[in-house]
Chain A
Amino acid sequence: MKEFRIKLEGDQAHLGTVPAADVARLLLLIEKAAAQTAAVILHQPKTTTGRYRGVIEQAVHFRLHGIEEGSVVPVLELPEAGPPELGAVRALDFEVATLGESAVKALLDAARKPSEPLIAKAMLDVADGMLIGERYDAIVIEVPSNGQRPRKVKIDAKVRRRLRKYVDAAPVPASRTDDLVGSLVEADFERQTARLRTPTEPAVEVTFSDEHSDDIQAALRQSSTVRGEVLYDPKTHTAKRIRLTEIVRGIEQLALDPGEFWSAISFDELAERQAAGRPVDPDDLYDDAATDEERDAVMAALAEFE
């Protein structure tokens, strides 16, 4: 795919009538959506920071070839080949030659049948920004398809509503400062990435900056508590990625003493240590401060274990 066309449809979508600012906005929105989608493809949802920004900017650096007569049809050209820095991110299982092309195709897929919230949101932003269904009837994106008939996807009011419904219903990836416990392996000091093997996840992706390189080196293959901004899978609630801010040697989070773990302690000794072991009254175990909604929510969460 070298060129692709974006057709704006509607009463005002004609040369001589369409506000120039709307055409400019359309081009900027498409480029922004492609950049956001490229970031998702690279497993880097944030496009505002880091070395990926340059790669993504190059990949979606579309050139305007022209605006065709009749309806407003900007013709854009993709970069000739993958940007040279792309080789630096191949470790993320990214095999395609042209990131921009993949991003545009993923946007079209999202318009037809959204399956990734961030990409659907990127496409929705284009539809929202152009007031599709209000000021304009539709945007039609046309891309070549391996010498066959061009692939056309129309984003009209119906598609906009569908995207909105999907995005609103999609769980938002949760990111928060947290600690993860596991062994750091496969550190790549050029790419500043590593893998954290936890008891439940074989590969939590770790990214770090120069200042932490020595700490990473020292902590390799040892049990460590890795502290930072953790991105959790919204469905499984398991950690997927962490942006490192600090490494804590050992397992601080659980405060485990390895020797203590293996010592056999009788129930009476353990109960005495914890000032427990008295016969219980079930009514004392009841949490009367919780609301019905909180009780149902916890019970539903626990039911998922079964």
Chain B
Amino acid sequence: MQPDEVPSGPLAVDTDAFSAVHWGRGRRDEFAALIAGHPLAMPFPVVGELKVGAIRG
């Protein structure tokens, strides 16, 4: 998917996408281009996974 193919408006990010952008790892550049300029929503399970990842890491 290219940035111009992303629908306008808010996006729900998953754990992979947010962690890549937040920690600057993996597909960071790819995801950053897709979410730039969009309001983001983080589903409850994603928040949970990120917290668990931070605790375990």
Contacts and interface: CB of A to CB of B under 8 A. Distances in A.
Given A237-B56, A277-B10, A305-B15, A298 B32 contact: no
A238 to B, nearest CB: 11
Contacts of B6: none
A18 B55 CA distance: 52
Contact of A299 (B25, B31, B32, B55): B25
A295 interface: yes
A300 to B, nearest CB: 7
A282 interface: yes
Given A298-B54, A298-B57, A305-B49, A287 B23 contact: yes
Contact of B56 (A285, A287, A301): A301
Contacts of B33: 282
Contacts of A304: 56
Interface string A148-184: 0000000000000000000000000000000000000
Nearest to A278: B39
Contacts of B18: 285
B39 A276 contact: yes
Contact of B23 (A267, A281, A290): A290
Contact of A279 (B21, B32, B38, B49): B38
Interface in A104-156: none
Contact of B24 (A237, A277, A286): A286
Contacts, number: 77
- Find the residue from B16, B31, B39, B55 having the highest chain A CB count within 10 A: B39
Nearest to A270: B41
A285 B20 CA distance: 10
Interface residues of A, number: 27
Given A279-B38, A280-B37, A282-B36, A302 B24 contact: no
A281 B36 contact: yes
A16 B2 CA distance: 86
A174 to B, nearest CB: 11
B19 A299 contact: yes
A304 B31 CA distance: 20
Nearest to B56: A301
A296 B19 CA distance: 11
A298 B22 CA distance: 11
Given A280-B39, A282-B32, A282-B35, A298 B53 contact: yes
A298 B24 CA distance: 11
Interface string A247-291: 000000000000000000001001100001111111101110010
Nearest to B40: A280
Contacts of A299: 19, 23, 25-26, 53, 57
B56 A295 contact: no
Interface of A: 237, 267, 270-271, 276-283, 285-287, 290, 294-302, 304-305
Given A286-B22, A298-B23, 19 more contacts: A237-B56, A277-B39, A279-B36, A280-B37, A280-B38, A280-B39, A282-B31, A282-B35, A285-B22, A286-B24, A287-B24, A290-B23, A295-B25, A299-B19, A299-B25, A299-B57, A301-B57, A305-B49, A305-B53
